[in-house]
């Protein structure tokens, strides 16, 4: 479906006629990209039961070539008797195959076997590359845990949209979601909450249903490898020193309060934070490095958002630490965590990402700022010489309502906090007031799926799609007009339907 490619490629030249394909597809691939071809073969086998003969005898239906003159993640595709796909890296090779699959019928995306005798691929030449290097999606697995199969499927969906970062928010006040050797109570105690809010948190009601879940090291390694085959990098986040109540339920000595705490059963921001003792800093470094080590060389997110300082302000121990460092504001204490984590992670070879509150204290060198409170936080970071990922809640928080219609399911906030897919599509990754000399600081953008009000896979689909379809084109850098996009989106939704995605239907125009 030449007219339904999504995200839209940078350049497409149509020729007349089509090429007819039947099983088996004969595919030639350089050995270093064999796993990319195998993933394509698995997808086609699942969708239509076809065979892909990899590196057997020619002539070839598809020939993948490793070339030197493609930019990062870029590719060229020319469909003729043989479809020639050229790329300079694995991601580009994977995207070339994804685009080729989009040129066929929606059935090629089916998640259940849907037999097909043959199909036609239009003759076409495509030259494509992303405008932005960071095209991310964030998933909060702390407020609601999503099992490995659901995360794996989300990774597949990212790959289908040429999105390349999955940011996993692995802990919060309401749950800790990764096993860490030496700290068994994180998973034994911290990963289970007694109850959750019923309806909206503001209603003050409890469901009295326990919610629990935790990834093993093996689970995360499997997700990492699966993501790699799809051209997706997992960015793990451990969010401390705020959002720490699940940690403090497990290890109260790391907190400031003499009262025992439970894993929090309400949404919002717990006032309970890590203390600033050497033991708390050591713990934080140890667990963050451990989790980071499961994702060698990946960027690691050190959180750092919404850390209330009341407990530090009334703590003698924290006051002493402030005096030692000559701090005048308790917020500067948070800088002890960011500095320590950034140094350790950089030494281990990880780029470091933090929420934009990191701007409130001294920012460790080379920290990538994730601007969430507003686009202006991204401008501020860029002007301060820092790289930025734009994730402003006003445009890219997909836990906000899909529309102002009264029958929308309960979401983070009531109308007017609405983010339609149209609003996402019109979003400009480069902040409007940012001077051109700082544009290169903007690495890209990221859409957020906070999960206080997203408890099931179907509801995740509903909140994510079609807004992520719109987002993928914005992040790829080929967004046009709503009138141009909507027909392509309608074609693309047939692919999502084939994949079994419970997307939110479009409103009639």
Q: How far is the CB of 334 from ligand ACM (least distance, A)?
A: 14
Q: Using CA atoms, how far apart are residues 473 and 479, in angstroms rounded to an integer?
A: 5
Quote the CA–CA distance of 253 and 279 in Å, as a whole number. 9
**How far apart (Å, rounded) are the C-alpha atoms in residues 257 and 469?**
45
Q: Cβ of residue 399: shortest distance to ligand ACM, in angstroms?
A: 9
* Contact characters 247-286, ligand ACM, x per CB under 6 A: ----------------------------------------
| CB contact set of 219 (below 8 Å; sequence gap of 6+) | 148
Site string for ligand ACM, 196-215 (x = CB under 6 A): --------------------
| Residues touching ligand ACM, count (CB under 6 A) | 4
Taking the complex as a whole, the smallest distance from the CB of residue 370 to ligand ACM amounts, in Å, to: 8
Q: How far apart are CA 452 and CA 450, in angstroms?
A: 6
SS3 300: strand
Q: Which alpha helices (H) appear in 179-332, and where do they start and end?
A: 184-188, 217-229, 245-250, 278-293, 310-313, 316-325
Per DSSP, the three-state class of 293 is helix
The nearer residue to ligand ACM, 201 or 348, going by C-beta atoms, is 201
243 is catalytic: yes
- Helices (DSSP H) in 84-181: which residue ranges? 90-103, 148-160
Which residue out of 172, 219, 237, 452 is catalytically annotated? 172
Indicate the residue among 295 and 372 with the shorter CB distance to ligand ACM: 372
Q: Which of 40, 372, 453, 465 binds ligand ACM (CB under 6 A)?
A: 372
**Number of alpha helices (DSSP H) and beta strands (DSSP E) in the chain:** 16, 21
Using alpha carbons, list the distances in angstroms from residue 434 to 24, 227, 242, 440: 52, 33, 30, 11
Residue 306 appears among annotated catalytic residues: yes
Q: Is 306 in the site for ligand ACM (CB under 6 A)?
A: yes
How far, in whole angstroms, is CA 4 from its chain's centroid? 24
Q: CB of 306: closest distance to ligand ACM in angstroms?
A: 5
**Cα–Cα distance, 180 to 273 (Å, whole number):** 20
Residue whose CB is less far from ligand ACM, 40 or 372 = 372
Identify which of residues 196 and 448 has a Cβ nearer to ligand ACM in the complex: 448
Torsional class of 34: left (φ above 0), alpha (ψ -120 to 50), beta (otherwise)? alpha
Q: Please give the residues from 340 up to 359 whose contact with ligand ACM meets the rule CB under 6 A.
A: 355
Candidates 127, 201, 286, 305; binder of ligand ACM (CB under 6 A) is: 305
Residue among 288 and 493 whose Cβ is closer to ligand ACM? 288
Q: Alpha-carbon torsion 266, 264, 322, 336, what sign? A: negative
21 contributes a contact to ligand ACM by CB under 6 A: no
Query: Which residues in 423-462 contact ligand ACM (CB under 6 A)?
Result: none
* 466 prior amide bond cis, ω within 30: yes
**360: contact with ligand ACM by CB under 6 A:** no
Closest CB to ligand ACM among residues 153, 169 = 169
State the nearest-atom distance from the C-beta of 355 to ligand ACM, in Å.
5
Q: Which of 169, 243, 272, 492 is catalytic?
A: 243
Which residues are identified as catalytic?
172, 243, 306
Residues that bind ligand ACM (CB under 6 A): 305-306, 355, 372
């Amino acid at each position: 479906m030449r007219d339904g490619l999504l995200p839209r490629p940078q350049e497409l030249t149509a020729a007349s006629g089509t090429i007819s394909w039947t099983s088996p597809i004969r595919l030639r691939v350089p050995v270093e990209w064999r796993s990319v071809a195998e993933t394509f073969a698995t997808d086609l086998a699942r969708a239509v039961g076809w065979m892909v003969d990899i590196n057997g005898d020619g002539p070839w239906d598809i020939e993948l070539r490793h070339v030197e003159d493609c930019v990062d993640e870029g590719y060229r595709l020319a469909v003729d008797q043989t479809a020639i796909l050229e790329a300079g890296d694995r991601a580009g090779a994977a995207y070339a195959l994804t685009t080729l699959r989009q040129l066929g019928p929606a059935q090629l995306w089916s998640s259940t076997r849907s037999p097909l005798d043959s199909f036609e691929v239009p003759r076409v030449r495509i030259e494509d590359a992303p405008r932005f290097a960071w095209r991310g999606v964030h998933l909060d697995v702390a407020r609601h845990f999503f099992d490995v199969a659901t995360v794996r499927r989300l990774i597949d969906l990212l790959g289908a949209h040429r999105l390349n970062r999955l940011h996993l928010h692995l802990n919060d006040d309401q749950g800790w979601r990764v096993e860490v050797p030496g700290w068994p109570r994180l998973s034994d105690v911290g990963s289970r909450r007694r109850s959750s809010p019923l309806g909206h948190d503001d209603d003050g009601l409890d469901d009295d249903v326990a919610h629990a879940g935790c990834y093993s090291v093996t689970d995360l390694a499997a997700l990492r490898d699966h993501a790699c085959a799809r051209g997706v990098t997992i960015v793990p986040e451990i969010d401390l020193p705020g959002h720490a109540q699940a940690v403090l339920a497990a290890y109260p000595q790391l907190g400031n309060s003499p009262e025992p705490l439970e894993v929090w059963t309400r949404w919002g921001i717990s006032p309970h934070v890590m203390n600033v003792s050497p033991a708390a800093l050591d713990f934080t470094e140890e667990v963050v490095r451990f989790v980071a080590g499961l994702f060698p060389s990946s960027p690691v997110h050190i959180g750092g958002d919404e850390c209330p300082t009341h407990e530090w302000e009334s703590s003698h121990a924290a006051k002493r630490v402030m005096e030692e460092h000559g701090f005048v504001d308790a917020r500067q204490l948070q800088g002890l965590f960011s500095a320590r984590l950034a140094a350790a992670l950089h030494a281990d070879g990880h780029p470091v990402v933090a929420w934009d509150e990191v701007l409130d204290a001294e920012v460790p060198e080379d920290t990538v700022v994730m601007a969430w409170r507003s686009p202006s936080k991204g401008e501020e970071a860029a002007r301060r010489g820092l790289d930025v990922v734009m994730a402003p809640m006003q445009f890219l928080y997909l836990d906000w309502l899909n529309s102002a219609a009264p029958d929308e399911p309960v979401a983070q906030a009531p109308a007017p906090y609405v983010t339609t897919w149209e609003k996402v599509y019109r979003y400009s990754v480069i902040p409007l007031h940012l001077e051109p000399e700082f544009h290169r600081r903007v690495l890209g953008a990221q859409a957020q799926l906070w999960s206080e009000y997203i408890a099931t896979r179907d509801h995740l689909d509903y909140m994510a799609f079609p807004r992520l379809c719109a987002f993928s084109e914005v992040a790829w850098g080929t967004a046009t007009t709503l009138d141009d996009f909507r027909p392509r989106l309608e074609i693309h939704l047939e692919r999502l339907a084939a994949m079994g995605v419970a997307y939110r239907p479009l409103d009639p125009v």
